[in-house]
Structure 1
Amino acid sequence: MAGKIQAIRFKQWLPEWDDFDFDAEQHRRKPDEHILLFSMPAVQLRALSGVYRRTRDQDGGEGLQRLHDPKRSAAIRDFVRFGHPFSSLPPSARDDVATTMRKPGWLPTAIVVNILTAKDERRGRRVANSDLVSVHDSGENRAELGLPYLDRLEQWEPADLEPFEVIDGQHRLWAFDEAFKDGSLPGDFELPVVAFTGLDVGWQAYLFWSINVSPKRINPSHAFDLFPLLRSAEWLETLSDLRIYRQARAQELTEILYTQPESPFHNRINMLGESTKTAPPGAGVTQAGWVQAITTSFLSTGSGRSANGLFAAEITPSRGPLPWSRPQQAAFLIALWSAIRRSILDSQHIWIDSLIRPNGQEPLDQIRIEAFAGSRTMLNQEQGVRGVLAVANELFFSLAQLNPDLFEFNSKIIAGTATSPEDVTVALEELSSSELMSRIHDFASGIVSFDWRSADAPGLSDDQRMLKRAFRGSSGYVALREQLFRHLSVGSKEVAQVAAEALKRLI
Structure 2
Amino acid sequence: MSIKEYPAIKIDQWQQHWDDVIWEESKYRRQPNKFFYTLSMSAKDLIKLSDVYERNTDNSETRSGDIGIQRMHNKKRSNKIKEFVKFGYPYCEFNDAVRHERNHMKKPGWLPTGIVVNIIQSPKKAGSISLSVDKEDMVEIINHETHPMMATLKLPQQYCEDAENWKAKNLNPIEIIDGQHRLFAFKTEDGKGCIPEAEDFYFPVIAFIDLDISWQAYLFWSINVSPEKINASLAYDMYPLLRTEDWLEENPSVHRIYKEARAQEIVETLWSYNNSPWHKKINMLGERGSPFVKQTTWVRAITTNFFKEGGLFQAFPNKRILPWTRPQQAAFLIYFGQCLHSALNSLIKIDKTSWPHQLETNIELISTSILEKAWSGDKSLLNMDSGINALCMVINHYFCDDLKFEMLNSWLQEEEFEDNLSNINHVLELLDNAEVFYENLSLKDHIKNLANKIATFDWRSAKADNLTQDQITQRKTYRGTGGYISLRDAIIEHNKEC
TM-score scaled by length of structure 1: 0.47
Q: Which has the higher contact order (CA 8 A, sep 6+)?
A: 2
Higher Cα Rg, which structure: 1
TM-score scaled by length of structure 2: 0.47
